[in-house]
A and B are shown apart, each in its own frame.
With several copies, the nearest count.
Chain A
Amino acid sequence: MNDQHPGKNPGGPAPDSDLLKRMYQRMALTRAIEQCMAQHVRNNRFSGWWHPGEGQEAAGIGASAAMRRDDYLFYQGRGCSWAIGKGMAPGPILGDLLGKPSGSTGGKGGGVPHWVDYAIGVMGEGATLGSVYPLAAGAALAAKQRGTDQVALANFGDGTAARGTFHETLVHAAAWKLPLIYFCENNEWLVGTPLKQVSPTENIADYAAGYHIPGVVVDGQDAQAVYTATAEAIERARAGEGPTLIEAKVFRKHGHYAGDPQHYRAPDYLDAYRDPLALLAARLDEDEASALWAQAEAEVASAYQAAMAEDDPAPDTIFKDLYYG
């Protein structure tokens, strides 16, 4: 399925053009934040690490477009497509990245993002990679026990598929048919190590067979294809048929972190790059697409200015939220 391309209409429920526009709008917001952050990190002292997600926007946006507002999302920390896709505004995201009180975490978050919005199912991140598999299963179990038809989605990278928690959680989720989606963004790198050096399988989706669950490979540059695959998996999960392992083949356009010299990568690696925004824009009215892009850029620019104008969080922030009350 890795050979899907814009012309080829993927199966499953056909996305209507409103959906395409919404996805494009959110990809544009995500991209605008990417560009904003690239510049910010270059020009400012930045705490933590910013892990650029440029080039991978289609995966998070396409998949989260198939999620309901009350579905639970656990994302991994590259870029911000998932949070935007799930409905967060640029303001609280940039607020966290810049360490300002307007951030969704009140400025405690940062480069390795811990942004959050329980009201729309953005449940947060575990920066020890792979730690959220069981958390997502816990949220899925909660949904199952309450008898709602919510699902939980755990997003992770190809390297993170090697964590033991990947297996422990799938064993149970599959045995108990939990409404859990495993969504891998396979960009074929873990920092500077090529996946193929440390993995017995090129396709992370191959692991699905052992658990007797569907494993799906999808073109991660194509938001529409990602949407369709995820919508199917979510349907299965809501129907009580258990987890699906989706693998989106994506492309890491930049270094692992902003500033990474990438000595380990061939100089021509960008030749294989396909821009997910261009890919989706080709399916939209050209003017409409440019209007959405201009709007996104403006929205991000003003959110950035607002955040930069804020003071740092109050020093006593460090003692807050440790215990409830």
Chain B
Amino acid sequence: MADTQTMADTQSITYNAAMGQALVEAMREDDSIFVLGQGVATGGWFGAEKGLADEFGTDRVIDSNISEAFEAGLAAGAAIAGMKPVINMGFGDFALIAGDEIFHKLAKWRYMHGLNVPMTAVIIFPIGTMNGAGPEHSSCTEVLGMHFPGLKVVVPSTAADAKGLMCAALREPNPVLFHSVNTLSFQRGDVPTGSDHFVPIGKACVRRPGSSATLLTYGSMVEPSLQAAGQLAGEGIDLEVIDLRSLVPIDWPLILDSVRRTNRAMVVHEAMKTAGPGAEIAAHIQEQAFFDLESPVLRVAGKDVPLPQHGALEALCIPSVAEIVAAGRQLCLG
């Protein structure tokens, strides 16, 4: 899972620490960045902001009360007043608590006021299951940012990308929904040091080149997809695995090039299937490359049910390596 760029100077740190590092380095360079959210000063629920308050003080690393709508709305107001807020929303599910503030305000403020001005704001949504966090704390809500225009949407799958996309988001003149993946929080990876490790927003990346079919995935499903590709390789099926990294903008050129080469495609994500991100991806691919396709674009995705709190039941709701393998076979042989 090597990144494309050369990594002269790297460090093995966790995914969350990598996000934190990007924040620290950017905050040292830019006074207008501040961090706010529930518990961010007291360590951060997921450790991403650990140590931030020690270095920057509680004026720039601010615990809020339990008020997600306030937190997101505050981000919009601070951003139009020229600050660069970074808000940890706690859980992706809470996008539905702050929907007006995120999708009507942050996303549309400039458009509806006819303003072409920069507006930096990073909204962190930790997403996905984490062994029984239950139906209101486990959702993958990134599709909301795809449907409602005006925001950029990223989902890093490695520690290096967690840092690189955060570095990019903090310099991006548009609000970014930054989805961090709960199950990856403590996963280590080689992460470039320095504040100039940018993973450009809107660029996907080929994690495994292949020729039989294109597997499009991101976030928590990159690793299982690579495992499935490994298994299928033994059966003579050579999957190309693409990590989308950004959902808005989405890297259609890279995706369509690959599909036109392999003539087959599948999408794998943890988010629920119906009207999820894969629906758009499948619909778009068949629209654009129908006559290149030898079989339908398949989707392997979360079951269309709320996530039970029971760890074992929860596991049944999200794609397994076996399901990805089965879909890969169906795609190439069926």
Q: Find B134's partner among A72, A127, A134, A152 (CB 8 Å cutoff).
A: A127
A127 touches B81 (CB 8 A): no
Known A-B contacts A111-B132, A127-B136, A168-B70; A322 and B114 likewise in contact (beta carbons under 8 Å): no
B137 touches A112 (CB 8 A): yes
Contacts of A322 in B (CB 8 A): 110-111, 149-150, 305-306
Interface bracket on A: 35 or more
Contacts of B206 in A (CB 8 A): none
B309 touches A47 (CB 8 A): yes
Q: Is B189 an interface residue (CB 8 A)?
A: no
**1/0 contact trace for B114-127 toward A, CB 8 Å?**
11111100000000
Q: Is B328 an interface residue (CB 8 A)?
A: no
**1/0 contact trace for A283-325 toward B, CB 8 Å?**
0000000000000000000000000000011010111111111
Q: Give the shortest distance, in Å, between B302 (CB) and chain A (any CB).
A: 11
Complex Cα–Cα for A164 and B119 (A): 26
- Of the stretches B2-10, B58-66, B221-229, B231-239, the one at the interface is B58-66
B313 touches A108 (CB 8 A): yes
**1/0 contact trace for A180-207 toward B, CB 8 Å?**
0000000000111100011100000000
Q: Find B113's partner among A114, A165, A168, A175 (CB 8 Å cutoff).
A: A114
B116 touches A190 (CB 8 A): no
Q: Is B109 an interface residue (CB 8 A)?
A: yes
Nearest B residue to A46, CB-CB: B132
A134 touches B70 (CB 8 A): yes
A193 touches B114 (CB 8 A): no
Complex Cα–Cα for A101 and B238 (A): 43
A199 touches B80 (CB 8 A): no
Nearest A residue to B303, CB-CB: A318
Majority-rule SS of B interface residues: loop
Q: Find A193's partner among B63, B80, B94, B112 (CB 8 Å cutoff).
A: B63
Q: Find B133's partner among A108, A112, A264 (CB 8 Å cutoff).
A: A112
> Which of B45, B74, B111, B119 has the most CB atoms of chain A within a 10 A radius of its CB?
B74
Nearest B residue to A162, CB-CB: B65
Q: Is A129 an interface residue (CB 8 A)?
A: yes
Q: Give the shortest distance, in Å, between A315 (CB) and chain B (any CB).
A: 6
Q: Which of B284-334 contact A (CB under 8 A)?
A: 303, 305-306, 308-314, 316-317
Complex Cα–Cα for A116 and B114 (A): 9
Q: Is A45 an interface residue (CB 8 A)?
A: yes
Contacts of A109 in B (CB 8 A): 112-114, 309-310
B38 touches A134 (CB 8 A): no
Complex Cα–Cα for A174 and B119 (A): 27
**1/0 contact trace for A51-91 toward B, CB 8 Å?**
00000000000000000000010100000000000000000
A137 touches B174 (CB 8 A): no
Contacts of B194 in A (CB 8 A): none
Known A-B contacts A105-B113, A128-B136, A193-B39; A324 and B174 likewise in contact (beta carbons under 8 Å): yes
Q: Give the shortest distance, in Å, between A261 (CB) and chain B (any CB).
A: 9
Q: Find A324's partner among B66, B119, B308 (CB 8 Å cutoff).
A: B119
**1/0 contact trace for B243-278 toward A, CB 8 Å?**
000000000000000000000000000000000000
Contacts of A126 in B (CB 8 A): 104-105, 136
Q: Is B76 an interface residue (CB 8 A)?
A: yes
Q: Is B211 an interface residue (CB 8 A)?
A: no
Q: Give the shortest distance, in Å, between B140 (CB) and chain A (any CB).
A: 16
Q: Is B42 an interface residue (CB 8 A)?
A: yes
B65 touches A131 (CB 8 A): no
B77 touches A135 (CB 8 A): yes
B109 touches A124 (CB 8 A): yes
Q: Find B105's partner among A48, A135, A193, A320 (CB 8 Å cutoff).
A: A135
Q: Find B63's partner among A164, A198, A323 (CB 8 Å cutoff).
A: A198
Complex Cα–Cα for A323 and B175 (A): 9
Nearest A residue to B97, CB-CB: A128
Contacts of A136 in B (CB 8 A): 77
Q: Is B195 an interface residue (CB 8 A)?
A: no
B66 touches A162 (CB 8 A): yes
Complex Cα–Cα for A135 and B134 (A): 19
Known A-B contacts A124-B113, A160-B66; A110 and B309 likewise in contact (beta carbons under 8 Å): yes
A selection of 9 A-B contacts at a CB cut-off of 8 Å is A48-B131, A108-B309, A129-B66, A131-B101, A136-B77, A138-B73, A141-B74, A165-B70, A197-B63
For the complex with contacts A47-B311, A142-B77, A318-B305, 6 further pairs of A-B residues with Cβ separation under 8 Å are: A105-B114, A112-B134, A135-B74, A143-B81, A318-B317, A324-B119
